[in-house]
Each structure stands twice: as structure tokens, then as C-alpha cells.
Amino acid sequence: MTTGSDVLKLAERTYKERNRSYHDNFVRLGNAMHSMFPDGLTMQSPDDWTRLYFFMANQVKMSRYATNWYEGGHKDSSVDAAVYAAMLHAYDKDL
């Protein structure tokens, strides 16, 4: 039987493995988002939240790609970014 402790150990291994590629990407992403929205950003509707999700997912993927620039980028992230950009574009067309 899997225990909570087993799950936490797996989570730790996963975090360490991913962070070797992503290099604390969350810090750079926070700085980039602040640069794009220096006056802050207010979500006022479910549509705003949905658009922000697609936007943030795309930014996360591109920042992961950038982190691995000298290794030719993070291949999965560039494909994922294209998907999220397409989803955002399609959602915006429906607004």
C-alpha cells in the first residue's frame, strides 16, 4: 500500500529532477510577469481567469525553454507553448 510518506518522497524526487532543468524558474517568471504588468492585474470575471491561465501557462513554458537556451531549449515546453497560445487565441475569438 502506498503511504503519504511514499507520495512525499516521490514528490521530492520529482521536484529535484525537474528543477535541474528548470533552475528555480518560478523566480524568473515572477519577475517577468511583474515587468509585463507593472501596475498589477485585476481579474474581474471568469473569462479573465481563463485568459490568465492560458497566458501564464504559455509564459511558464517559454521561460522553461529560455532556461535551457544553450542546450537547444526545452523541446516539450516549446510545443506546449504553441498549444497554450492556440488555446488563448481560440478563447479570445469567442469573447
Domain count, the chain: 1
Question: Which pLDDT band, with edges at 50, 70 and 90, does 73 fall under?
Answer: confident
Share of the chain above pLDDT 90, in %: 78
Query: What is d(CA 51, CA 92) in angstroms, rounded to the nearest whole number?
Result: 8
The mean pLDDT value for 90-94 works out to 90
3-state SS, residue 58: helix
Average pLDDT of the chain is 93
Question: 37 exposed, middle or buried (CB, 10 Å; 0-12, 13-18, 19+)?
Answer: exposed
The mean pLDDT value for 28-39 works out to 95
Domain that holds residue 68: 4-94
Backbone dihedral angles phi then psi of residue 47, each to the nearest 5 degrees = -60, -40
In this predicted model, what pLDDT tens digit does every residue of 38-56 receive, in sequence order?
A: 999 999 999 999 999 999 9
pTM: 0.82
